[in-house]
Structure 1
Amino acid sequence: MRAVIVDRYGPPAVARITELPSPVPRPDQVLVRVAAAAVTSGDARIRAASFPAGMSLPGRLALGVRGPRNRVLGIVVSGTVAAVGQAVTAFAVGDEVAGMTGARMGTHAELVAVEAKRLVRKPGGIPHDAAAAAIFGGATALHFLHAVADLLPGQDVLVIGASGAVGTSAVQLARIAGGRVTGVASDRNVALLHRLGVDEHVDYGTTDPVSLGQRFDVIIDAVGTLTPASARALVREGGTAVLAAASLWQMLQARGPVKVGPAPGSPALVERLLPLLERGELDPVIQQTLPLADIAEAYRIVDSGRKVGNIVVRP
């Protein structure tokens, strides 16, 4: 099968197409023929070994010292079941599925073996590109807004990095839940954010979110703008501020209303997202869809820091 491998950490050019043996599913796994996969900020950080401050050594010890042990990156997949392991009863060959592979990664390829428990059925009305685009940011935003922050209708929500994968989903999901949303992003994305449902837009090029003079019930900082101290200054009593891109030092400082840490990416979150996509309530916001062979270009877009929404590759 054709797959993208990363043998060593480095710039986008280290990701290259090669031929690998097709994976054989274990008894509890499903072999998925990949129709679309996302190229996320998480994939880019692993490729470049660009870990949050203080996390470089733990990151390399966990993932690989000179390059990732799992050479095929990618955690999001939408595709069709090509084979099932002996113990799998939930899926059959030909079923359309979507989900996240977790630490095993492997979706930047024509085929990927995934634990059946990590996948859900993809409704036929959702294009594979849309499913692949929405899952990472959408599941992350759902977890932060509801499981962590317990968002209630009528609350004020601040989303920093509102034009990215997590941010575009957070804006829409907060609006769907009845929140009043302020989105922080570049002024060039103001039309997009208003289309997605923000009540107010803040241009980070001219306004520091810390200086807004307003407090919020829920804060999602998807890009690492806030510190625990500045987040406390912005969050209302009883509210929650989530720092999704915190450094090790910030993780150690986080307490009280300030929360840090990754989202679990569980299939239950994906199952909540897909009906919203199917009904047209959630826009997956795809900046570009590229062939798998153009993976280096996909990474260059992500690395630029100017990505809007999501980048999708097709094998």
Structure 2
Amino acid sequence: MKAMVCTKYGSPDVLELTEVNKPVPMANEVLVRIRATSVAAMDVRIRSSDFPLLLWIPMRFLLGFRKPKKTILGVELSGIIEDVGKDVKRFKKGDEIMAYRGMNFGTYAEYTCLHEDGMVVMKPINSTYEEAAAFAFGGLSALYFLKKSNIQSGQRVPFYGASGAVGSSAVQLAKHFGTEVTGVTSTTNIDLVKTLGADLVVDYTTENFVNRNERYDVIFDAVGKISKARSSKVLAPNGTYVSVDGQGIAKVSTKDLHFLKELMEKGKLKSVIDRCYPLEQIPEAHRYAETGRKKGNVAITVGECRVT
């Protein structure tokens, strides 16, 4: 099968398309024909070895010193179950599923094997493969940090970086939880953030939201670009600051993924996709993701791309 392999740490040029052995499912695994995956922030960070100085050596020890131990990156996917192990009970051949692999990686390929008790759920019936594959990382991360902040109905919450993979999901989830949402984004993304449900959108290129005469119950930094010290100016007494930067890996579960899937089927959560690339163009997709200009997610398709 074809797979995009990370040969060493570095620029997107270290990603090479090659032939590898097609996996065979064990007794409690399913074999998935991958139809779509994404370029998540975790993929970019691992490939480039972009870690804070104090974490550089520990992360290299964990992930591999000269190159990633798991050379096929990719943290999320959607696809079709092609085969099942003899002990599998939850799924059958032909099931359309979505899954989150996290640090297990392996979705930059035509096939992968998943444990039936892993983070695997049925694909939302109203989504394309690309839409299903591209929202797990951002959605799960957003849900984790919202829970960490103990989000409550009626609270006032600004989201710095409201148009990114995490931010676009966080805005929608916060509205679902009944909060008053302020989206902080650039000029070109104002309309997008409005469509996600933000009550107010602040253009950070023309206005610094911390200079507004407001107080917020939770401040959510979805891109790691506004510090707690800077945010404290507008944080209400006993308010909470959360950031995706330097917080480690979000603790997520199959229950969380199923919750997001149900919201998507009910039309309360949508997957925001900026661009779609074929498997063969993953290096180009990484280059675009690194520009910092993407809206929502960058999808990768195996086969014909159905997102423009």
TM-score, structure 2 as length reference: 0.93
Q: Is this contact kept in 2: 1:96–1:122, CA < 8 A?
A: yes
Partners of 2:37 and 2:78 in 1: CA distance: 6
**Any unmatched runs of 5+ in structure 2?**
303-308
**Does the alignment pair 1:270 with 2:251?**
no
Extract structure 1 runs of 4+ deviating beyond 4 A: none
Which residue type is aligned with residue 131 of structure 1?
A
**Does the alignment pair 1:114 with 2:114?**
yes
Structure 1 vs Structure 2 CA RMSD: 1.6
Partners of 2:170 and 2:33 in 1: CA distance: 29
The equivalent of 1:204 in structure 2 is: 204
Residue 121 (structure 1) shift: 1.5
Partners of 2:2 and 2:283 in 1: CA distance: 15
Partners of 1:243 and 1:23 in 2: CA distance: 37
The equivalent of 2:55 in structure 1 is: 55
The 5-angstrom pairing of residues 87-236 of structure 1 reads: 87-117=87-117, 118-145=119-146, 147-236=147-236
Q: Is this contact kept in 2: 1:32–1:82, CA < 8 A?
A: yes
Instruction: Please list the CA deviations of residues 241-267 of structure 1 after superposition, one character each: whole Å capped at 9, or x if unmatched.
Output: 111112xxxxxxxxxxxxx34322321
Partners of 1:183 and 1:93 in 2: CA distance: 42
Q: Is this contact kept in 2: 1:244–1:262, CA < 8 A?
A: no
The 5-angstrom pairing of residues 244-259 of structure 1 reads: 244-246=244-246
Aligned identity (percent) is: 41
Partners of 1:230 and 1:291 in 2: CA distance: 40
The equivalent of 2:288 in structure 1 is: 301
The equivalent of 1:38 in structure 2 is: 38
Q: Is this contact kept in 2: 1:218–1:239, CA < 8 A?
A: yes
CA 1:57 to 1:212, structure 2 compared with 1: closer, same or farther past 3 Å?
A: farther
**Does the alignment pair 1:285 with 2:286?**
no
Residue 210 (structure 1) shift: 3.4
Partners of 1:58 and 1:206 in 2: CA distance: 40
- Aligned residue for 2:135, secondary structure, equals helix
Partners of 1:104 and 1:171 in 2: CA distance: 28
Residue 14 (structure 1) shift: 1.3
Q: Is this contact kept in 2: 1:143–1:263, CA < 8 A?
A: yes
- Between stretches 79-88 and 187-196, larger displacement belongs to 79-88
Partners of 2:124 and 2:182 in 1: CA distance: 32
- Aligned residue for 1:55, secondary structure, equals helix
Which residue type is aligned with residue 143 of structure 1?
Y
The equivalent of 1:81 in structure 2 is: 81
Partners of 1:102 and 1:286 in 2: CA distance: 20
Which residue type is aligned with residue 19 of structure 1?
E
Q: Is this contact kept in 1: 2:124–2:264, CA < 8 A?
A: no
Residue 229 (structure 1) shift: 2.5
Partners of 1:37 and 1:267 in 2: CA distance: 18
Residue 53 (structure 1) shift: 4.4
Partners of 1:27 and 1:213 in 2: CA distance: 60
TM-score, structure 1 as length reference: 0.91
Q: Is this contact kept in 1: 2:98–2:122, CA < 8 A?
A: yes
Q: Is this contact kept in 2: 1:161–1:221, CA < 8 A?
A: yes
Which residue type is aligned with residue 187 of structure 1?
T
Partners of 2:152 and 2:82 in 1: CA distance: 42
Aligned residues: 301
